[in-house]
Amino acid sequence: MGKLGERGGIALAARTGEALAAAGDVRALLTRTELARADALRSAGDRDDFLAAHALVRLCAGRLLGCPAQSLTVVQSCGQCDRPHGRPRLVESPGLGVSFAHTRGWVAAVAAHGPVGIDVEADGGGPLDWRLAQLACNERELAALRAHPDPRRAFLRQWVRKESLVKVGVASLDELGCLDVPVYGDEAPRWRDWRLTDWRLTDWGGGGAVGCVAAREHVRLRLLGPVRPHAGLACPQ
């Protein structure tokens, strides 16, 4: 394997349950290492989020490569320790960039032709944690958040943008405050050579999530199950 198909990347986002349903027999998809990591999680919800994200990234890669998700192997390695975490890669197609993320009840994944990063965060309401904002944002960004009519949601958008850039390797988590990402309105921005594809989703029960993909090419977002893009943010198709 390894022959890449059409240009452009594919991202999938869904509630965890919808992703698990789309993947079928999830435990047959994942490696023993992935299953062991999942089984070590104490919370059933956390286990489901983990399994769903690791399955969803195979669905993305399979769609892009034109092959069954069952034929793909995802591995992770860390440059600082021997634990099986860190940036994922596809054994069968090393040139394909893959990334996944999970949060409380939501998962997202992406496959693209080159480096790519994705993040998703649950939008559970409540006030903005300004202490966290001060760690993740610079003074210009903080000023823009203070002037925004909904600073919590504006911060969530900045957070997922920066996390997606961390996942492509342009910075570390400790350097989030040094990433000067413009605080745009509803239009997804670019950051240097990277396209930042934003979305905000809601389900029919009123829950929501905010996400972002960082890639050097156009990424098409597909939604699984009864979720819809919020009217305030574009959902690229």
Where is average pLDDT lowest: 51-65, 111-125, 194-208?
A: 194-208
Pair of tokens at residue 50? 């983990």
Q: Residue 235: pLDDT above 80?
A: no
pLDDT (average), residues 75-92: 76
State in Å, rounded, how far the first CA of the chain is from the last one. 27
Of 27, 97, 84, whose CA–CA distance to 57 is shortest?
A: 97
State the pLDDT at residue 185. 57
CA 213 to chain centre: 6
pLDDT averaged over every residue in the chain: 87
| β-strand partners of 47 | none
Of 183, 166, 184, 167, whose CA–CA distance to 175 is shortest?
A: 166
88-119 exposure pattern, b = at least 16 Cβ within 10 A, e = fewer: bbbeebeebbbbbbbbebbbbbbbbbebbbbb
Q: Is the pTM for the entire model greater than 0.75?
A: yes
Contact between 135 and 145 (Cβ < 8 Å): no
How many percent of the chain have pLDDT more than 70? 86
